[in-house]
Chain A
Amino acid sequence: MDNNQSYERDETIARTGKLLGNLALAVSVCSVLPAFFVLTASVLSAIYVIFYFVFFFLAIVFTFGIILINNSFAGGPEAFLGGLESFFEAVSGVLPVYMPVTGAVAAVLAAGAIIIGVKMRGTENSKGVVGKGIASVVLAVIAIIMTLVVLASGGGAA
């Protein structure tokens, strides 16, 4: 194999590694998001309640906004929080299946990216590939911990 053929092979493998790194990062972000949402639901609820009263106060001050505010916030914070709770219960219901599947896919992609990134070190497309792979593994581990916390707290949130 001459140098040109070797160069073509190396650069193609490195591009594949870069693609795997991008995909691993995307999948691991997807795996961590639902658990993150569920865990932060309590915070979101608290923020919502604060905003509700702020807007309610503004609506009283500026009567022009009353109709708008009433329509947008019909039902009050209790109704909103009820909806939020059922949504997050549904999300935490699918977590035991969703998380292992996305986590496993992310782990496989990340492993491929790290192996190729190390093997092809020095090529243009191998830059940052190992970092992306490691970041994906870290995110997948965070997703596992968050999911365990959510499941242990019985669905958590709201």
Chain B
Amino acid sequence: MILTIHAGGNLAGAGVYVNGKRLKFKKEKTAGGTAPQYVASAETDGAVALSVIKRSPLSFKHWFGKAFLLWLFGIFGLFTPRYKKRYKTLCYNLNAEISSDAEIFLRIVAQNGRTYVNATQQFAPAPPVSVGADFAYEEEGNVWTDDPVAKKHRKYYHIFNAVFWILLILGGAAVAALLLLN
């Protein structure tokens, strides 16, 4: 059976997995002016375990070793990709059983995303993942979880980078001054 997954919204940094395999989304052709949609498909024997993960790299295991190596090879941070202010984690799981080819629509909302609630005509915090499917499913973890570790680590990283550059500039100035004096 083939499960086709249509996704939209803020997919940046989100890993979508079906039965343990990461999906590779392709852009769908949509009418001009509409938000881009992405599509992927997964083969399944009926059981569907879908996960959406979004985390900061600064809360990964061995974060400092990885960040330091990238910083070093990026010529002391000059060419290293920047770390975004992502202090919330998403670990969403959906379980379902399908009996034939099916489609599922996911919409991933950005951190602190707010959506329009029709009943009250007010904006309210949106759930991270909105799902549309024509089969029954169970979901869990559809909330942003605060990630204070990523915030702390980002601060450490920036302090480390700033201290290194200050020391480098001071050292360079000291060497230049010594050379000039001699």
Contacts and interface: CB of A to CB of B under 8 A. Distances in A.
B20 A3 contact: yes
A121 B15 CA distance: 11
B17 A121 contact: no
A8 B54 CA distance: 10
Residues of A contacting B: mostly:
helix
B16 to A, nearest CB: 8
B22 A10 contact: yes
A16 B13 CA distance: 15
A12 B66 contact: yes
B15 A6 contact: yes
Give the size category of B's interface with A.
Answer: 20 to 34
A94 to B, nearest CB: 22
B29 interface: no
A36 interface: no
A10 to B, nearest CB: 6
A11 B60 contact: yes
Contacts of A6: 15, 17, 20, 22
Main secondary structure of the interface of B (DSSP, over half): loop
Contacts of A127: 12
A11 B79 contact: no
Most chain A beta-carbon neighbours within 10 Å: one of B24, B53, B79, B91: B79
A117 to B, nearest CB: 13
A4 B91 contact: yes
**Looking at chain A, what size class is its interface with the partner chain?**
20 to 34
B68 interface: no
Given A3-B20, A11-B15, A122 B25 contact: yes
B151 interface: no
A7 interface: yes
Given A7-B53, A8-B60, A19 B15 contact: no
Nearest 8 CB-CB pairs, A to B? A124-B13, A22-B79, A7-B15, A18-B81, A7-B53, A8-B60, A3-B17, A124-B12
Interface of A: 2-4, 6-8, 10-12, 15-16, 18-19, 22-23, 26, 121-125, 127
Interface of B: 12-15, 17, 20, 22-25, 51, 53, 55, 57, 60-61, 66, 70, 73-75, 79-81, 91
22 contacts: A3-B20, A4-B91, A6-B15, A6-B20, A7-B22, A8-B57, A11-B55, A11-B57, A12-B57, A12-B66, A15-B57, A15-B81, A16-B70, A18-B81, A19-B73, A19-B80, A23-B73, A122-B25, A123-B13, A123-B15, A124-B14, A125-B81
